[in-house]
Amino acid sequence: MSDTQSKSEGPEFDVETTEAEDATLEEVATENSNAAEDSPEAESAEESPPAPAERISQLEAALADAHRNRLLALAEAENAGKRADKRISDNAKYATSNICKAILQVADNLERALLAAPEDKRVNSDLLKNLAVGVEMTGKELETVLENQGVKKFISLDQPFDANLHQAMQEVERTDVPTGTIVQVVQEGYMMADRLLRPAMVVIARGGPKREAVETEATDENASVDTST
């Protein structure tokens, strides 16, 4: 092979290598361009900002939510304040409930003491009479103290039995009164303001007519009387 041929072949090899490198660089540039177009930044850049009307609607909705949350928070704070005030009021109103229950036990014992000194025996004994008067005065003083604390006795005799107010100790056969009527009070019941302080211990009747029927008859009789007048 001559020198002329070897010289001519050399440049041809260099040209081909350069073209291959250019093709490779071009492919890399194309891939980078595609990757840049597919990236989130490119997508976000291409997204257009919301229209003014849409943005205003979003802001108005956010403002309405904030206003509603503020009203709810204010209402919850007000309710919490009311609950706290009620607890404070109840604590002040019923703070003496335990001591009042203890005083009721003393009042019960005084009533039992009076039962041991009936009227017929007091007449023949000045000592017993004076003692009974002292016990009665003490009982009235205790009753005044209890009333000042909002404690009052409620009527149970001849009333229908109420499990919220009464505690049944016994049932007796009575046909002359409606079933469930209280015919005897063993221990009086008391209320403290609007709360039950102590239930009444009672004896109730059974075997008589139903209370609903008796009340219906009484209502009919009253209606007939009103009509005649």
CATH code where residue 162 lies: 2.30.22.10
- DSSP 8-state symbol, 181: B
Q: What is the spatial distance between Cα 220 and Cα 65, in angstroms, rounded to a whole number?
A: 61
Q: Among 50-64, 102-116, 168-182, whose mean pLDDT is lowest?
A: 50-64
Question: What pLDDT band is residue 183 in, cutting at 50, 70 and 90?
Answer: very high
Q: What is the pLDDT of residue 200?
A: 95
- Does any domain span residue 209? yes
In the predicted structure, residue 14 carries a pLDDT above the cut 50: no
- Does any domain span residue 157? yes
Amino acid at 212: E
CA distance to 153, 160, 169, 205, 215, per residue, from 211 (Å): 25, 8, 20, 11, 6
Q: What is the spatial distance between Cα 2 and Cα 56, in angstroms, rounded to a whole number?
A: 85
- Does any domain span residue 89? no
Q: What is the mean pLDDT of the chain?
A: 78
Question: What pLDDT band is residue 220 in, cutting at 50, 70 and 90?
Answer: low
Q: What is the pLDDT of residue 223?
A: 52
- Does any domain span residue 92? no
Report how many domains make up the chain.
1
- Does any domain span residue 205? yes
**Average pLDDT for residues 188-213, to the nearest whole number?**
89
- Does any domain span residue 185? yes
In the predicted structure, residue 7 carries a pLDDT above the cut 50: no
Q: What is the pLDDT of residue 86?
A: 78
- Tokens 């009307």 map to which residue? 53
**pTM more than 0.95:** no
- Does any domain span residue 59? no
| CA atoms 12, 18, 22, 28: torsion sign | positive
The CA R_g of the chain, rounded to the nearest whole Å, is 49
Domain that holds residue 176: 151-229
- Does any domain span residue 176? yes
